[in-house]
Structure 1
Amino acid sequence: MKTLYDVQQLLKKYGILVHVGKRIWDIELMAIELDNINRAGLIDKHDYMMAKLVLNHEHEIETKKEKDPKNHGI
């Protein structure tokens, strides 16, 4: 699991589709849903950790974009 798309596909397997309208909000909601699936014991620990790493990385990128709008092409 390497991309946000991979995480979306993982969540889709659990019937979870996320589209709030703003990328950073989508990432945050995906993280919440992923935590819920983990708490319920439905997801493999490795898949959970890899998805969290991807989401954290993507969130960091979006946060940097918001702080410096001139640098939106990271």
Structure 2
Amino acid sequence: MKSMIDIYDLLKEYGTFIYTRDPIGDLVLMEDEIRQLYQAQVLDIKDYQMALLLIRQQETKERIKEQNR
């Protein structure tokens, strides 16, 4: 996993489509879904950790954007 697009694609593979018009809310939901996939032993530890890292980095970027408005 190298980018947010990889995470979107992974979630699509399992029938999960997330779009609420709230970028931060979307990221929170994505993190929950990734956590559930890991708990169901669908993801290995490396993919799980990388996905969480990417989601949290994106969330930080979105929060900075929000503050600059």
Task: Calculate the TM-score normalised by the size of structure 1.
Answer: 0.83
Identity %: 33
Confirm whether residue 22 of structure 1 aligns to residue 22 of structure 2: yes
Q: How does 1:1-74 map to 2 (within 5 A)?
A: 1-69=1-69
1:33 offset after TM fit, Å?
0.6
State the alpha-carbon separation in 1 of the partners of residues 50 and 32 from structure 2.
Answer: 15
1:40 offset after TM fit, Å?
1.5
The structure having more radius of gyration, on CA atoms, is 1
1:49 is paired with a residue of what secondary structure? helix
How much is the aligned-residue C-alpha RMSD, in angstroms?
Answer: 1.1
State the alpha-carbon separation in 2 of the partners of residues 46 and 15 from structure 1.
Answer: 22
- Aligned residue pairs total 69
Task: Calculate the TM-score normalised by the size of structure 2.
Answer: 0.88
1:2 offset after TM fit, Å?
2.2
Structure 1, unpaired ranges of 5+? 70-74
State the alpha-carbon separation in 1 of the partners of residues 35 and 12 from structure 2.
Answer: 15
State the alpha-carbon separation in 2 of the partners of residues 55 and 36 from structure 1.
Answer: 15
State the alpha-carbon separation in 2 of the partners of residues 28 and 14 from structure 1.
Answer: 17
